[in-house]
Structure 1
Amino acid sequence: MKHKPGKYIWFSLACLAWFILRVGARPTRIVYPCQRVAAAQSGWFLYAFLAPAFVAFWKGIKNFFSKHFKFIVIAGCIAFASFTGYRIYGQYKINLLRSQAGTIPALGVPGSAQPLDEISFVSFRYDPSVFYGETPPYDRAQNPAYDLVWQAVEDLQLGSSSNPLDGIIDPGDTVLIKVNLLGFNRPQYTHPAAVRPVIDMCIAAGAAKIFVGDCGQGFTNAKT
């Protein structure tokens, strides 16, 4: 006795419709034995629908590559050459700017550097014996990290030692101090002991308004 696949496909389609109708209204019904059987029988319809589509897609890919093989090879070579040239040029520009603006020294040595955009500056200081202050308002008297942050900004030579940001902040300016205030289960945030000296620098430079914030990609339960 020969079996006709068409009958199984229609039966499978009916099972799929029954499954969607019953489970869609109440998802808890998916554990019912009848719904499990209907879900299993629905595979015939999915197979009959997806298999021809996959075969047609595969044939289309093969025909496309066979007809445009030379074009694909040439385009790939051009893309590879462009990407390689871009990387080489980027490294050359980095080396050029480093030779003009100085390089970042090894960790543990104070230093600064000017990144590629020629607008931002980077500076750091490292001292394992210095720790963050834990008591608000995190001023110089109660915050051992205060002077370390101040010296790191002073290394940029954007102002005087008493007013390190004088060169980029004019009296009356509005300033945004961008910190890290991100995280869900494991929050990541900039310690307020490192933010307080930057706020004082902005005040010393004459900033009229000072905002401290972040882009807000998540909520944090960190206490700051």
Structure 2
Amino acid sequence: MNKAKKSLRHLMKNPYFLGFISLLWLLFRSGTKPSRITYPCQRASAAISFHLLIYPLLMPILIFLKKFLKASSRSQRVSSKMALSIFLISLSAIFTALTVYANIIINPRAVLSERAALTESKTAVSLIRVNGGSLEESLREAINLIGGIDYYIPPSSKVLIKPNIVRNQEPPDTTDPAIVEALINIIKRKNPSVIWIADGSGEGNTLENFKSLGYLSVAERTGAVLVDLNFGNMINVSVPGGGVIFNSFLFNRLVMEADVFISLACMKTHSQAVVTLTMKNLIGIAPGSVYGYPPSPTKWILHEKAGEKGDQYMAGVIVDLCRARKIDLAIIDGRIAMEGEGPHEGDPVKLDLLIVGADPVATDTVASVIMGFDPEKVPTLHLANQLGLGTNNLHEIEIKGEKIENVFYPFKPATGHENFQLFSTIERELYRWRINLTYVSAALWIITLLYIGSIKAGRQRYRAH
């Protein structure tokens, strides 16, 4: 009995055995359902099973290195050519193992394809690549895929477009005025009675920010009216059924007077809310003159009330705002997005995407997944789904246009938000570098073989002489 226990303990310490068992478990659990690879137990299995792939590559090198060191210790001299050969072989093997892991074990395309498989269509979201073509035509195509502009804009209606003009900073920090102008040109064919471009900046004067960022010329060309939502005639608006943080809000009356409310957002990571998309964009409709401490327009009271009720990620505030003022059309400009320390200090990411939907929760869900975030974990999307504001279940969202797995690009999250992602930090970075790893691995093996070949050729010439 003791011998059996001893053998079992020895076996459990064997990396080959653990790697083999982990690989079997990984294939058994994820083979038929790839989305399970995002589960914690499957991530652990993937990491452990990696030993089964890397050891066969490294062990011959280690055995050879051991023999070489023994021989060199006896001769007290090490050939520099031999040492370089061993280094190149080792480096090539390591990069090959990483390449295998990045391209085979990590398989987001299979995960997303399975996870996005439609089982019940509750809403549709269009996903379009711009690819350097006409922005207006691409946006029109995206809207047409979910019913067309006729469906959303009744004749002679009042339309409010809410861009993200949080402060005076160029896109992707703020919404590009070019896409706002493209949208207005599409809407004008329905002869609306008025089009407002409205926001309440969190920093600086909204109208001055509009002017500095190029919106004044857009308004002059299109006839749209610029509005600062931080000021004006305010009305009290209740959250239907009561809110999570706020039961009612004071809004500029134009927010509720609009027949059609369009949230036209950037695609960014966020240091507090995890992501900022069409729903988070509604922070701008809360007037700074009411929810800030003048002369600052920053909406500190929203943050304070959220903090008092433990709303760490502002999910309750955002959902309350979206319930108080329903979004009729959600548009995300993902041509140039932002990753890392968003919403202001992040790095630009060129995706060339437009994401459009009538359900802001579903629209933000599609964008979040493309960014590498799990919509079931993103606080705003999780809470919005719970309260019936929309769906964050990809199985219920009909994605029209591009396939989500074909445009997937995992973003670097803001500090502390790694747990909200579909894949771990190591998996994300390996996946992003998978093509480069393949090239580097191939180049290293070519260099290694050429170098070893040159050594052998040199020896043959020496012996010939």
TM-score range, shorter chain: 0.3 to 0.5
